[in-house]
Amino acid sequence: MRAVSAQLGLSLVRTRYLADDFNGIFDGLSKGTCDAVISGTTITPERSKVVLFSQPYLEFNQGVAVNRRITPKVSSVADLHGLTAGIQSGNTSEFVAQRWLADGAIGKIQYYAYDGILSALADLEAGRIGMVIKLFPVISWLLKGHAELEVDMQVPTHEKLGIAFEKNNEELCDAVNSALDTLHSNGEFARLQARWFPT
């Protein structure tokens, strides 16, 4: 977002979101407390009913983090049988967890407040839950410094991430889309992607 702001000649002021459910983050757009939401935000039909999204700028899968001391070999959903999945309220990881629960692939779901991801990781380390599901690059980054935890599999959800705006703010959305196009064409986007999401 820094690169987009620089392209537009705008100052970036970050606002921290502290509520329990991720989907509540969009209220700031309609209340005017923020101009955009960019927080690993997956474009979904439900969210598109209440906000205006930029063009997709990245695509990721969900990642499944486990405690390798307790669950040493996870290579498929079958290896998760009976385990409790930790997810953040309002995250798209809920779709994966709900599907697995309905199929009998996991034991149950433990919900955490949006700002409670560190509690979920602590519970995973302590063995109180069997996995944490979250967007792959985010959960991979969060596990740095947690030697016993690792992302053992990805769920091919192919989620497209976008920047959210107030539903009627087409002017800012169009300007951001134009800035994204420029960042793609001048190679800056590829440089940023290689820096933050190395393969």
Flag whether pLDDT at 18 surpasses 80.
no
Instruction: Mark whether 39 and 80 lie in a shared domain.
Output: no
Contacts of 158 (CB under 8 A, 6+ apart): 59, 61
The reported pLDDT for the residue numbered 199 is 64
Q: Is 64 exposed, middle or buried (0-12, 13-18, 19+ CB in 10 A)?
A: buried
Q: pLDDT band for 97, please (50, 70, 90 cuts).
A: very high
Q: How many domains does the structure of the chain reveal?
A: 2
Instruction: Mark whether 97 and 113 lie in a shared domain.
Output: yes
Instruction: Mark whether 31 and 100 lie in a shared domain.
Output: no
Contact 83, 71 (CB under 8 A): yes
The reported pLDDT for the residue numbered 90 is 85
Q: Can you give the CATH number for the domain in which 40 is found?
A: 3.40.190.10
90 vs 102: CA distance, rounded Å: 18
The pLDDT tens digits for 101-159 are: 999 999 999 999 888 889 999 999 999 999 999 999 999 999 999 999 999 999 999 99
- Its domain, for residue 98, covers 60-158
Contact 92, 42 (CB under 8 A): yes
Q: pLDDT band for 197, please (50, 70, 90 cuts).
A: confident
Flag whether pLDDT at 20 surpasses 70.
no
User: How does the average pLDDT of the chain come out, rounded?
Assistant: 91
128 vs 125: CA distance, rounded Å: 8
Instruction: Mark whether 77 and 111 lie in a shared domain.
Output: yes
Instruction: Mark whether 118 and 189 lie in a shared domain.
Output: no
- Tokens 């405690």 found at: 67
The reported pLDDT for the residue numbered 114 is 80
The reported pLDDT for the residue numbered 196 is 81
